[in-house]
Chain A
Amino acid sequence: MSDDPITLEIIQNSIQATADEMFAAMRKTAMSSIIYEVLDMGTGITDARGRIASSGAGIPAFIGVLDKSVQFIIDKFDNDIKPNDVFITNDPWHGGVTHLNDLVLVMPVFVNNELIAWTANIAHNSDVGGMAPGSLSGEATEIFQEGLRLPAVKLIREGVTDQSVMDIMTCNSRMPDFLLGDVWAAIASVRIGAQRLQGLANKYSVQTFQIAMESFMDFGERSAIAALADLPKGSFELSEAQDDGRVYNVKITINNEAFIVDLTDNPDEDAGPTNTSRDGTIICAQMLFKSLVNPDTPANDGSFRPMKVLTREGSVFHAREPAAIGFYFETEVRVYDLIWRCLAPHIPNKLPAGHFSSICGTFVGGIHPDTGRQYTIIEPQIGGWGAWEGRDGNPCIFSGFHGETYNTPAEISEARNGLYVDRMELNTAPGGEGQYNGGRGLLLDYRIRTENGFLTAGYTRSKVKPWPLQGAEEGSGNFIEVTKADGTHEQYAFVSGLSLTTDDVIHVITSTGAGYGDPKKRDPEAVRLDIKNGFISAERAREVHGL
């Protein structure tokens, strides 16, 4: 079999199809709703050296994660990598990248005793132990409080499951059945992928298979460099105050060969869990870079070669062991938005105004009043997106961190979690007005039906609101509020382990996206329709649109 361009193309398509198939298999069999509905998971295929060749991912934030895990395992195990082994890791200082809930399963792919590739899977597991249910707590100050650390170990040795490791994992989880179901789903996923890759290499020869992977990555690099030509060249800098008063800084340099993100001038790591590993920071820069240079082509190792990220060890974006990292995602979405905001005024044709830009991670748990079983809601929220020249922002979609992610229908939530969803509607709070308006955020009310419930949540963009462009209004902000059965009412941005009882109501409130352009220039017909639709009061329309 030859390695003509058509054959290479066919192999590349088949590798992509394999990553997608691994993703579909995991999604359909997982037990945790955060995997099958929120799709807080990703699959990937790397070459023998651990360079990412293809990803099947529901969320952009998991596209560039798995190569880092594979590379760590290659370094650690070196000569002890055997056919039908499966490795597991979750620790950011041992190839795990994100936080301890995200279990990474990795499998080497052999053909005739030659290592030709790796298949890998990452997914958020509902509970991996630690100080709080769901393993995430705003109170954590070191990683030991956030669950069981798996420092890249063999879970399956040449096809035989190491029951000791499995037992340690399930024994450390508050939800061992879910953990077991989700881990087996992940094992099935990497195994199906390995089988398909073996079939491909057998059919086209190992050599042709490897050439196809290599050329696919070179193509990724060529397309990224070609796209750099369209970006403005120079240096750009932004400092932005955060909800907690700290100031984040970014300096971005773009030239014909490289895209350099300098994050060295940033605060020291946090005493709490809102830190991220250096790898996590790199992924955020990769996500925005990909949106800028070539959103339509598949992402692989080559796509990111022109990008460089500078961080300072010991800073919030490059935390040192054993810092707590449970809420890493909120820090990641901040640095992602920071880069976006820094460049938006210079690349308006690719970057809209600011969106609600928070995971709005919401964790609710308790005992299901009808089944008596434990339930846990672990969900990111949807919110408003920013406007751009010529178009209002999107209402209620997931943040830039998530992607092909689905919210939970009220009907399913009521059955699965044993609470009531009193309402799920658009947030019409003032904000985001412009010549083009930001999209609307969400109002979601959960009414608790039993005693002994709890709420943990961490929202940013609560005080410092989504940022507008060209003279428009900022967004309305993200909040979590609780109305207790006794009528008392509290507003939060971060809350940990708040206890809840029957008829307490949680209000999830996400921000309107920021507007674009002078609100006075909005088409009067559009304003009249906004009023008719109840999106804006006549009074507020007079005030901001002058109508």
Chain B
Amino acid sequence: MSESTRRVATDVGGTFTDLVAIESSPDGIKITTAKTDTTPPDFDKGVLNVLTKGGIKPADVDFMVHGTTVVINALTERKGVTVGLITTEGFRDTLEIARGNRPDFFNLHYEKPTPFVPRYLRAELPGRMTYKGEERTPLDTTALPKILDNFRQEGVQAVAISFLHSYANTAHEEALLHAVKKLWPEVSVVASHQITREWREYERSNTAVLSAYVQPVAARYLGKLNESLLSQGLVNSPYIMQSNCGVDSLAATSEVPITMVESGPASGFWGAAELGKLINEPNILALDIGGTTAKCSLIEGGEVRIMTDYWIERSRKSAGYPIMVPVVDLVEIGNGGGSIAWVDEFKKLHVGPRSAGALPGPAAYGKGGVDATTTDANLWLGRINKDYFCGGEIQADMSAAESALNIVGNKLGVSTDEAAQGIVRIANNNMVNALKLISLNRGHDTRDFTLLAFGGGGAMHAVALGQELQVRKVVVPAAASVFSAWGMMMSDLRRDYFVTHLADLEEGAGAKIEAVFAEAESKANNTFAEEGVDTSKLSFLRYGKFRYQNQEHTTEVLLEGTVNDATLSVIAEQFRAAYEREYTYRLDAPVEMVGIHLVARAEIGKLKMMPVPLGDTDASVAIKGTRNVDYALEGKHQADIYNGDELKPGMLFKGPAIIEDDGSTVVIHPGNRVSIDAYRNVHIELENQS
């Protein structure tokens, strides 16, 4: 026992609390999974329940990671606390003015999102900084006691502070933070610079406000969870999954919980990057298909792309709300296994974004669903095994699926088969367009990438998407349905620092730019050290954000070594090359730096994967039967059905085939060549491609 290490990931979702435990020992790796109901409002109970169900004693756990949707839920369900905002004189309405855009522009009844703080709780104080960080007018806090009295009377539970140009000079925000804490020690308070050092006052103010809005809720949640686990014998507090693909300490997350807002998809994409390193595939299009949505992200050179241009509730119908925190760059569309197919008044077929959810679910669940979903179409076409539906847990109701598909077919004037094929093709097209957004649209050639598909539905559609995008190959990871939890256990302790700093790349700028990086690095060093992390294990990635003079949007460039005047011309050339790749042309204009993006990370108890020697190439022992499968564009074929649990490293076979395990179905098209690697991942080489 002493040589083995037990790592546990728990994930609290809206409906279920999931557990994945990995015990690694010299003999290999043992994976345990379990699922229980989520238990609001005492979420810690569900976590303890799922540990018990999985047979895990907290005292035996060496390393625990926890993911939760508590922040995004509190935001979307409007279950945060009453917030008061203190801002610069003349700018109390920044939250309500927002950016003035009308995304749904032909709709004259467009409704602008309502700010999270009403006008009577938005207070102003005199004091101004310039964009260079110089004080123009001193901060005057004379009115503060009166403002706080009013906040108390109005039931404010959290205070947000956001002053103009605080990204360049934090002094006024720090002074006010201090003053508020002194006058009202019990209240939760956050200043914008604690979360972001980037410019744009609406985005930064809204970020501070939303962080304040969820802070008491999240801190209570994390505190209770920690207490319960420690009292049950857990030795080290769990780490908390973040939106930037890293984990952070529970204590730090409790202070600024807004950083977990999009942590759900992040772990899967991190897993994709880590798996890529393991199997020597540094360039990956990662695709996660769940029940209601599909999400995708591009990984280049083994690195995920982290951005701070994140918005909630933003769509073609609404401007949404910005949250300026580091979030993995992803595109999400309303297309998952449960997405409903529908025909509009002009006989056009659509799939999603409405989903049948868990209840009633796809028609084939037999729980009263009458709408055809992508899953029903996949069942009808023989791609999903009707006799092994949901790992054999549900008896597929094929007559319900048929009548649901018939409704679609009748509206289109086509057969049931054609309706099902149409649904799969439209769903695939939606996903191809999402994948193009993260690749072709940004100047990446998909032929240089490997498509990595996971989540419950990823493997079903991956080959068709890969063929359309002409990717190098398709990889489906072992245990694809719990891949996100695996990703959590591969995460580093990671923080992303974004600082706005304007500089022309000319003589004298080198030292100043170096100073901005150095300041951020020293801040990171101190923060990690305070948490007891050995800072010698800390590593940094330095990105600069550049543009041609007078432009607005920036291109990130990874910088090597220290910056000085001598390296500026090299940096400028790196930018010009990166810009040309993305936008097809170069300009003879000067290059300007707009800010830095520093990644600080330290490995903490990360799982080490051990390869298994490749064995016999003959995969026939894993074949459990054959069936007729409709591949939509390629027609119907008799396919070998493989039992995923029986596939061993080194095995080789060809499509048409299907691989089934209790969590996912891999659809392998005619002509595809399949190999199982040393970690039991499924590699699919597409026909006519090298």
Contacts of B103 on A, CB cut-off 8 Å? 403-404
Report if A406-B548 is in contact (Cβ < 8 Å); known contacts: A219-B346, A222-B346, A291-B108: no
Is A412 positioned at the interface, with any CB of B under 8 Å from its CB? yes
CB of A37 within 8 A of chain B?
yes
Of the candidates B98, B119, B201, B552, the one having the most CB atoms from chain A within 10 angstroms of its own CB is B552
Is A424 a contact of B100 with CB atoms below 8 Å? no
Q: Is the CB of B107 within 8 A of A177?
A: no
Instruction: Choose among B100, B347, B441 the residue that contacts A407 (Cβ–Cβ < 8 A).
Output: B100
A sample of 21 inter-chain contacts (CB < 8 A) reads A9-B348, A14-B433, A21-B441, A24-B441, A177-B589, A181-B587, A184-B587, A185-B583, A219-B348, A295-B104, A398-B100, A403-B102, A403-B105, A407-B100, A409-B201, A411-B201, A412-B199, A426-B119, A442-B97, A533-B118, A533-B119
Q: Is A188 a contact partner of B583 (Cβ separation < 8 A)?
A: yes
Q: Which of A178, A398, A412 contacts B102 (CB 8 A)?
A: A398
A17 and B101 within 8 A (CB)? no
Residues of chain A contacted by B199 (CB below 8 angstroms) = 409, 411-412, 415
A161 to B573, CA, bound (A): 24
Which B residues lie within 8 Å of A185 (CB)? 583
Among A6, A32, A409, A445, chain B packs the most CB atoms within 10 A around the CB of A6
Hey, which chain A residues are within 8 Å of B96, CB to CB? 395-396, 426
Task: Report how far A516 CA is from B105 CA in the complex, Å.
Answer: 21
Residues of A within 8 Å of B425, CB to CB, are 6, 10
Q: Are A28 and B111 in contact (CB under 8 A)?
A: no
Please determine whether B131 and A382 come into contact, CB atoms closer than 8 angstroms. no
Interface string of B139-168 (1 = CB under 8 A from A): 000000000000000000000000011010
Q: Is the CB of B551 within 8 A of A30?
A: yes
A5 within 8 A of B: yes
> B608: CB under 8 A from chain A?
no
What residues of chain A have their CB less than 8 Å away from a CB belonging to chain B?
A: 5-6, 9-10, 13-14, 17, 21, 24-25, 27-33, 36-37, 59-60, 177-178, 180-181, 184-185, 187-188, 191-192, 196, 219, 222-223, 226, 287, 290-291, 295-296, 299, 340, 350-352, 370, 382, 388, 391, 394-398, 400, 402-407, 409-412, 414-415, 421-426, 439, 442, 445, 532-535
Q: How near does chain A come to B135, taking the closest CB pair, in angstroms?
A: 14
In the complex, are the beta carbons of B551 and A29 less than 8 A apart?
yes
Out of B109, B550, B551, B585, name the residue touching A187 (CB < 8 Å): B585
Of the listed residues A29, A30, A188, A223, the one surrounded by the most CB atoms of chain B closer than 10 A to its CB is A29
Q: Which residues of B contact A396 (CB under 8 A)?
A: 93, 96-98, 100
Closest residue on chain A to residue B502 by CB atoms: A415
Contacts of A196 in B (CB 8 A): 440
Within 535-566 of B, Cβ neighbours of A (below 8 Å) are at 548-553
Nearest Cβ distance between residue B383 and chain A, in whole angstroms? Answer: 17
Complexed CA–CA distance, A425 and B107 (Å): 25
How far in angstroms is the closest Cβ of chain B from A181? 6
Q: In the bound complex, do residue B587 and residue A180 qualify as a contact, i.e. CB atoms below 8 Å apart?
A: yes
> Would you call the interface of chain B mostly helix, strand, loop, or mixed?
loop
Closest to A395 in B: B96
User: Which residues of B in the span 403-460 have a Cβ within 8 Å of any Cβ on A?
Assistant: 412, 421-422, 425-426, 429-430, 433, 436-437, 440-441
Q: A31-B548, A180-B587, A396-B98 are in contact. List 5 more A-B contacts (CB 8 A).
A: A60-B105, A219-B348, A295-B104, A395-B96, A398-B102
CA distance A177 to B592 in the complex (A): 15
> Is B569 close to A, CB under 8 A?
no
Interface of chain B residues 326 through 379 with chain A (CB within 8 A): 345-349
User: Which of these, A10, A391, A409, contacts B426 with CB under 8 Å?
Assistant: A10
Which B residue's beta carbon lies closest to that of A403? B105
Q: Which residues of chain A have C-beta atoms less than 8 A from B93's C-beta?
A: 396, 424-426
> Could you tell me which B residues sit within 8 Å of A by CB distance?
89-94, 96-112, 118-120, 130-132, 164-165, 167, 199-203, 345-349, 412, 421-422, 425-426, 429-430, 433, 436-437, 440-441, 502, 548-553, 583-585, 587, 589
Interface centre among B167, B421, B550 (most CB of A within 10 A): B550
CB–CB B585/A424 < 8 A: no
Interface centre among B100, B107, B548 (most CB of A within 10 A): B100
- Specify the chain B residue showing the minimal Cβ separation from A530: B119
Contact at B119–A535, with CB atoms within 8 Å? yes
Identify the closest chain B residue to A425 (Cβ).
B93
Q: Is B97 touching A395 in the complex (CB atoms < 8 A)?
A: yes
For B94, what are the chain A residues with a Cβ–Cβ distance below 8 Å? 424
Report the minimum CB–CB distance from B556 to chain A (whole Å): 13
Cβ of A403 and Cβ of B101 under 8 Å apart? yes
Taking the nearest CB of chain A, how far is it from the CB of B50, in angstroms? 41
Distance in angstroms between the alpha carbons of A223 and B348 in the assembled complex:
12
Contact A17 B436 (CB under 8 A): yes
| B97 CB → nearest A CB, Å | 5
Report the Cα distance A439→B583, complex, angstroms. 40
Q: With A and B bound together, what is the CA distance between A426 and B93 in angstroms? A: 6
Instruction: Tell me if B109 and A352 are in contact (CB < 8 A).
Output: yes
Which among A33, A219, A296, A439 is the interface contact of B552 at CB below 8 angstroms? Answer: A33
Q: How distant is the Cα of A425 from the Cα of B94 in the complex, in angstroms?
A: 7
Is the beta-carbon distance between B583 and A28 smaller than 8 angstroms?
A: yes
Task: Indicate if the CB atoms of A412 and B200 lie closer than 8 Å.
Answer: yes
Are B91 and A424 in contact, CB atoms less than 8 angstroms apart? yes
B426 touches A9 (CB 8 A): yes
Complexed CA–CA distance, A368 and B589 (Å): 19
B579, chain A: closest CB distance, angstroms: 8
Taken together as a complex, chains A and B put the C-alpha atoms of A407 and B112 apart, in Å, by: 15
Please tell me if the beta carbons of A9 and B349 are within 8 angstroms of each other in the complex.
yes
**B108:A532 contact, CB within 8 angstroms:** no
- The reply to whether B100 and A405 contact each other, CB–CB distance below 8 Å, is yes
Q: Looking at the assembled complex, report how far the CB atom of B648 sits from the nearest CB atom of chain A, in whole angstroms.
A: 38
Of B200, B347, B429, the residue contacting A13 (CB under 8 A) is B429
**Given A30-B551, A181-B548, is A5 in contact with B101 using a C-beta cutoff of 8 Å?**
no
**Contact at A409–B202, with CB atoms within 8 Å?**
yes
> Bound state CA distance, A25 and B427, in angstroms?
26
In the complex, the answer to whether A394 meets B110 with C-beta atoms within 8 Å is: yes
Chain A residues contacting B201 (CB-CB under 8 Å) are: 409-411
Q: Do residues A13 and B97 form an inter-chain contact, with CB atoms below 8 A?
A: no
Q: How far is the CA of A477 from the CA of B191 in the complex (A)?
A: 37
Q: Which residues of B contact A36 (CB under 8 A)?
A: 551-553
Residue of B nearest to A393 (CB): B112
- Is the Cβ of A425 less than 8 Å from the Cβ of B109? no
A388 near B109: Cβ-Cβ < 8 Å? yes
Q: Which residue of A lies closest to B119 (CB)?
A: A533
Q: Are B97 and A411 touching (Cβ within 8 A)?
A: no
* Shortest CB distance B631–A (Å): 15
Q: Which 6 interchain pairs have the tightest Cβ spacing?
A: A403-B105, A423-B90, A295-B106, A382-B100, A415-B131, A533-B119
Min CB gap A383→B, angstroms: 9
Contact status B105-A424, CB under 8 Å:
no
Contact between B346 and A425 (Cβ–Cβ < 8 Å)? Answer: no
CA–CA, A223 to B109, complex, Å? Answer: 20
Known: A395-B112, A404-B103, A424-B91. A532 touches B120 (CB 8 A): yes
Closest to A370 in B: B132
Given known contacts A28-B553, A37-B552, A411 and B105 CB-to-CB distance under 8 angstroms: no
Q: Which residue of A lies closest to B347 (CB)?
A: A5
